[in-house]
Amino acid sequence: MKTFIISFLAVAMVCGYSCNSAFGQGKEKPFGTVKTKVIELKVTGMTCQGCADHVTSALSQKSGVIKSDVQFASNSATVTYDASVVEEEEIIQTIEETGYKAEAKTSKDKKEIKKDDAMPHACCVPKKKS
């Protein structure tokens, strides 16, 4: 048993030392060099939650995007990304390629939107029965 454990540890150390992809790190991206940033965007043109899901899907496929939270009700997106891989302009371009307008939020745009102020689109409102 002791021999098995020593052998396992030796193999793990050799692989971890010589393998370029150990723990997702390599010479081009050593430990501690990830520069994460968060950007808040105003996204216009979305008409329902499906639109927000479409933007989220596009952002999740973009290299360098770590996390995205797209909200239809507030017409906003919060994106966490690796600044050494992707730039803010590329994120905005990715959203615009999906068919929506995106721009960085100003301090005026960052005010809270009350739930009552958000107007649902016609496709999202239940139809009244006659």
In tens digits, the chain (130 residues) has pLDDT values of: 777 677 666 666 655 555 544 444 444 455 556 688 999 999 999 999 999 999 999 999 999 999 999 999 999 999 999 998 999 999 999 999 999 999 998 765 555 444 444 555 555 555 556 5
In sequence order, the 6+-apart residues with CB closer than 8 A to the CB of 113 are: 73, 74
8 Å CB contact between 92 and 44: no
What is the pLDDT at residue 43?
A: 94
What is the pLDDT at residue 117?
A: 47
What is the pLDDT at residue 25?
A: 44
The full set of domains in the chain, from first to last, is: 36-106 (3.30.70.100)
Comparing CA positions, the residue from 46, 108, 35, 32 lying closest to residue 77 is 46
| Cα distance between residue 45 and residue 12, in whole Å | 51
What is the pLDDT at residue 15?
A: 56
